[in-house]
Amino acid sequence: MNFDLVIKNGTVVTAVATYQADIGINGEQIAAIGQGLHGRRELDAADKLVIPGGIDPHVHLQYQLPNFRSADDFFSGTRAAALGGTTTVIDFVEPQAAQTMLDGLAARNAEAAGQTVIDYSFHMTIGPHEIEKLDQVAAAYAAGCASFKLYMAYGMRLTDDQLLRALQAIRDVNGLPVVHAENWDVICALVAQNLAAGRTEPGWHPHSRPSLLEAEAASRLIDIATYVGTRVHIFHISCAEVVERLADAQRRGLPVTGETCPHYLLLNCGVFERPLPQAARYICSPPLRSHDDQLHLWRALGQDVVNIVTTDHCPFTQAEKEQNLHDYSQIPGGLPGIEARLSLLYSYGVRDGYFSLNRWVEMSSTRVAQLFGLRQKGHIAPGYDADLVIFDPQKRIVLSTETLHEQVDWTPYEGVPVTGWPTTTLCRGQVVVEDGKFVGEAGYGRFISRSF
Ligand code: URP
Ligand code: ZN
Ligand code: ZN
């Protein structure tokens, strides 16, 4: 049989196996895996790894805050993602107060459709004004938003009674709650104390968002979710204390999962010793923690306690980060990172011995697909979407704004060397990156409806 496209001679790496094979693709899907396959087009992957396309279920593209908007739009952000080997992203819908959840979804989809170069989906946010709209949760689920974002921090935060009601509504449709867990009341008090005492520099940011209180929020969330009888996924875990609470919940058999992000693995609060204005760039929440926390997170990934790695990509320019140097609490929070996730995890996770090649694939694709209801993605098997990456394990790159393609004028990984980088990325059978060059097109990406 002659396939539309064959990836030949590669080392196929899945979440459970590593083997030599060709992959035959017809149309948008994987048609066969075997030896000596031929196609109208053939891509040689000798000496390369062939892995399922990365799935990044936590990104903020053209994310509107009251005074700022994240710097990557749906085109530039998904192009950078594709160049880094990611083929699906999940962003967020935040309905306006007067909007239904479905109208919010339609408005957000109108921003993304026609722009994205890889597939995308959305979490539905349940903020305080959605508590009066919980009867719409079933419609949001039916429209493909199978996961629901809840904040325990920021102006969007839910009080515990609201959290309870939101978790009940999500449970009733078999959805997945995904939660930013921090203790907002304590954060507000500590920020006020710091500012009143003249402690206004960015280095005070981690001190006003203590690890112990991130863990307290995670524990409270786990307890309320357990009482309600729902699973729950904890976003952007930054510290050992949360890892311990998560491990404890998992030991008790509770359906609790968690993610961390490359910046919590690769960076620590030592960055706040850099002079102003550079120190201001590293503000994100939860904050960067200690070297010891980094080690705990790497080990927890190896043990599958922290289950997946997402980027929480939320870039702001240097100028935006530097606008409020007199008050760290007003600096827009978030770091760039959508492009280098796979490579950083390979370089500093697999090569440094924290986990295997197969676990790398699992935490960046296969498990993500399973957790978030992406039924056609995350596997290399006939019938699944041909979302595939040819990854050169020997390719060396020094990360910088010159080598990365994120639409922002700085990177927290400036000067960081990596070994291993994607050369070719396919999304649903279409080559969108070839030999490290973007060859895709805006609007190819499709909204993916998710369900469990
Ligand atoms: O500081 C961060 N993480 N900004 C992005 C929004 C969020 O909390 O995930
Ligand atoms: Zn968050
Ligand atoms: Zn986020």
What is the distance in A from the centroid of ligand 3 to the CA of 2? Answer: 44
User: Residue 248: its pLDDT value, please?
Assistant: 98
User: Residue 128: its pLDDT value, please?
Assistant: 98
Tokens for 365, please give them: 């694709």
- pLDDT tens across 158-175, in order? 999 999 999 999 999 999
Averaged pLDDT for residues 248-266: 98
Give the percent of the chain with pLDDT over 70: 100
Report the predicted TM-score, pTM, of the whole model to 2 decimal places: 0.98
What are the structural domains of the chain? 53-372 (3.20.20.140)
Q: Which atom of ligand 1 is nearest to the CA of 283?
A: 1
What is the distance in A from the centroid of ligand 3 to the CA of 255? Answer: 22
User: Residue 75: its pLDDT value, please?
Assistant: 98
Pocket test for ligand 1, best of 312, 313, 335 (most atoms within 8 A of CB): 312
Averaged pLDDT for residues 107-133: 98
Tokens for 341, please give them: 């996730």
What is the distance in A from the centroid of ligand 1 to the CA of 412? Answer: 15
Please give the backbone phi and psi of residue 334, each rounded to the nearest 5 degrees, phi first.
140, 150
Is the pLDDT assigned to residue 13 strictly greater than 90? yes
What is the distance in A from the centroid of ligand 2 to the CA of 285? Answer: 6
Quickly state the pLDDT bin for 198 (edges 50, 70, 90): very high
Averaged pLDDT for residues 239-256: 98
Q: 312 CB less than 6 Å from ligand 1?
A: yes
Averaged pLDDT for residues 298-323: 98
Task: Pick the residue whose CA is nearest to atom 9 on ligand 1.
Answer: 312
Q: 405 CB less than 6 Å from ligand 1?
A: no
What is the distance in A from the centroid of ligand 1 to the CA of 183? Answer: 14
Pocket test for ligand 1, best of 58, 64, 283, 285 (most atoms within 8 A of CB): 285
User: Residue 56: its pLDDT value, please?
Assistant: 99
Q: Which atom of ligand 1 is nearest to the CA of 180?
A: 8
Quickly state the pLDDT bin for 412 (edges 50, 70, 90): very high
User: Residue 436: its pLDDT value, please?
Assistant: 98
What is the distance in A from the centroid of ligand 3 to the CA of 91? Answer: 9
- pLDDT tens across 348-390, in order? 999 999 999 999 999 999 999 999 999 999 999 999 999 999 9
Task: Pick the residue whose CA is nearest to atom 8 on ligand 1.
Answer: 285
Q: 285 CB less than 6 Å from ligand 1?
A: yes
Is the pLDDT assigned to residue 1 strictly greater than 90? no
In a 3-state reduction of DSSP, which class is residue 392? strand
Whether residue 281 contacts residue 315, with contact meaning beta carbons closer than 8 Å, is answered with: no
Angle at 58 between CA 15 and CA 62, to 5 degrees: 140
Mean predicted lDDT score pLDDT of the chain: 98
Task: Pick the residue whose CA is nearest to atom 5 on ligand 1.
Answer: 334
Is the pLDDT assigned to residue 230 strictly greater than 80? yes
Tell me the three-class secondary structure of 272-321, residue by residue: HHCCCCHHHHHCCCCCCCCHHHHHHHHHHHHCCCCCEECCCECCCCHHHH
Q: 314 CB less than 6 Å from ligand 1?
A: yes
Q: 331 CB less than 6 Å from ligand 1?
A: no
What is the distance in A from the centroid of ligand 1 to the CA of 179? Answer: 11
Q: 333 CB less than 6 Å from ligand 1?
A: yes
> Ligand nearest 91 Cα, by number?
3
DSSP label of 67: S
Quickly state the pLDDT bin for 60 (edges 50, 70, 90): very high
Q: Is the peptide bond before 206 cis (omega within 30 degrees of 0)?
A: no
| DSSP helix, strand, coil percent of the chain (3-state; round to 5) | 35, 25, 40
- pLDDT tens across 15-34, in order? 999 999 999 999 999 999 99
Is the pLDDT assigned to residue 192 strictly greater than 90? yes
Averaged pLDDT for residues 44-63: 99
Return d(Cα 159, Cα 431) in angstroms, integer: 46
- Cβ within 8 Å of residue 122, ≥6 positions away: 90, 91, 92, 93, 105, 108, 109, 144, 145, 447
Averaged pLDDT for residues 99-117: 98
